[in-house]
Amino acid sequence: MELGARIRSQAERLGFVRVAYAPADRLGVAAERLREWLARDFAGEMEYLAGPADRADPRALLAAARTVIVCALPYASTDAAPDGPGPHGRIARYARGADYHVVLKQRLRALAELIRADAGTAVAWRACVDTAPLLERALAAQAGLGFVAKNTMVITPGLGSYTLLGELLVSIDLASGAPEPERCGRCTACIDVCPTGALIGGRMMDARRCISYLTIELDGPIPRELRPLIHDWIFGCDLCQEVCPFNAAAPGADLVPLDLRPRPRQSRPSLTGLLGLGTAQFRKFVDGTALRRVRRRQLLRNVCVALGNVGGPAEVPALARALGDRAPLVRGHAAWALGRLGARAPLEAALAREPDRTVRAEIAAALDEAPRPHYISSR
């Protein structure tokens, strides 16, 4: 068995469901698309994407690189049951288990050691996940692991898009795969389902409108006009994957590594329960998961928006308490949610004591939009 086949066999034993090889050459077309995307200001606050690192060149990360081994690790594609009494928030499926960055890195490092032992020569390597400055989706397409769909996700034929990508840069030559043809055809299911209109065609996304960006990457207030469209998502979004026909063939639960399987508390958590999290409780909630990507104030901001969309009178007391949160970002979004629920009394009380100018503006806007009580005349 030649080395490339042996590496695939070793990777499969580590839980990877697809492995493909691409030359460690600079991705010229992908680099141009990135420049176009940045020029259209679609990156929003993700300024690091316009940094000095050449994301299109694997050798910028490992000068000795000859091949990029692209690996796909599956995660659960089915929804999870709510945890405790509702209403509940939704967390993107990839973040419902252990932190995939850690899981992928561990398996990629193990694969590198197996390659080093098998190659019979010195092998330089570097393991990468999505935090590395590398155009991993373009590399996956170049290697033939899958194709980039209209929702900008990599679709792996026979598996769909519920997979996590990891790359191993190695200083050995392996026979490269052939790029997969694009297979979306006339289907626009993902574009049609996106409530915020983030998918604009041409396999591009305006991240500033994407629910994943708004709930994870954005550090400040969520634009008011987009808040109702987020519904109950509090970390990421799966809508464009849920409607994709290719995900009818998503990996079965038996293929998902144990550490990536959903945890009930990180799948469909109680929104009012999350709103009461203090600093220590928040750290415990996100510990060991990809939810560590957000700060407490961001998560509670998202929870407030979700409660404004799916909450009711029973959730007003929790939101009223959030008007006293130490973070202005949380207080402002709690005010918006209370306005949506027509709870004027806590807003009027908070306006008199609120010291932050931006929060006062949120409260005033919420009061303007909140329905006033109707009185029946006695005459």
**Which residues are designated catalytic?**
130
Amino acid at 353: R
Provide the total of helices (H) and of strands (E) in the chain, helices listed first: 15, 10
Instruction: Give CA 145 to chain center in angstroms.
Output: 21
d(C-alpha 69, C-alpha 58), whole Å: 11
Contacts for 152 with CB less than 8 Å, ≥ 6 apart = 137, 199, 203, 204, 205
Phi-psi region of 246 (alpha: psi -120 to 50; beta: other; left: phi over 0): alpha
Sign of the CA dihedral with 21 first, then 27, 29, and 31 last: positive
Exposure of 312 in the CB half-sphere (CA atoms within 13 A): 4
Q: Residue 260: which of 74, 81, 133 has the closest Cα? A: 74
Q: Are 151 and 190 in contact (CB under 8 A)?
A: yes
**Crossing angle of the two packed helices 296-310 and 279-286, in degrees rounded to 10:** 90
